[in-house]
Amino acid sequence: MQPRKILVVDDSKLIHKMFEVLLRQYSLVHAHDGLEALQVLGNHADIDLILLDINMPTMSGLEFLYQIKADDVFKEIPVVIISTEGREEDTIRGLEAGAAASIKKPFGNQELLEVIQRL
């Protein structure tokens, strides 16, 4: 069986490295802002889940989320918001816009894996 494919969207290089270690059993695809993530989605029709940072340059996670939820091809892909302490408002907006779950930095490995496996 092919490993499930996860798109990681975050402007922090550290987060990408961390996910590479934590999510070794998955196939990861990387983007560093919303615009790049849209391009990556266009090139990978088989993304199973998206881990999404909100605060990013060029195109924010919220803007990216609004765009994919308005797109019939991508709107069913579950999105998990990676939220930052003190930015609860963004998380609430994201969940209202159709994100499936949120996880707050710093999160435990077990917590992250549970959320991903559930979705």
Provide, rounded to whole angstroms, the least separation between the CB of residue 72 and Mg ion: 28
Q: Are 10 and 32 in contact (CB under 8 A)?
A: yes
Among 7, 8, 11, 112, binds Mg ion (CB under 5 A): 11
The DSSP secondary structure of the chain, one letter per residue, reads: -PPPEEEEE-S-HHHHHHHHHHTTTSEEEEESSHHHHHHHHHH-TT--EEEEES--SSS-HHHHHHHHHT-TTTTTS-EEEEE-TT-HHHHHHHHHTT-SEEEESS--HHHHHHHHHH-
**Cβ proximity to Mg ion, 6 vs 82, nearer residue:** 82
Q: How far is the CB of 20 from Mg ion (least distance, A)?
A: 17
Size of the site for Mg ion (CB under 5 A): 4
Nearer to Mg ion, 11 or 90 (CB): 11
Determine, following the binding rule CB under 5 A, whether residue 33 of this chain makes contact with Mg ion: no
53 or 90: CB nearest Mg ion:
53
Query: For the window 47-66, what string marks contact with Mg ion as x by the rule CB under 5 A?
Result: ------x-xx----------
CA Rg, the chain, in Å?
13
Residues near Mg ion (CB under 5 A): 11, 53, 55-56
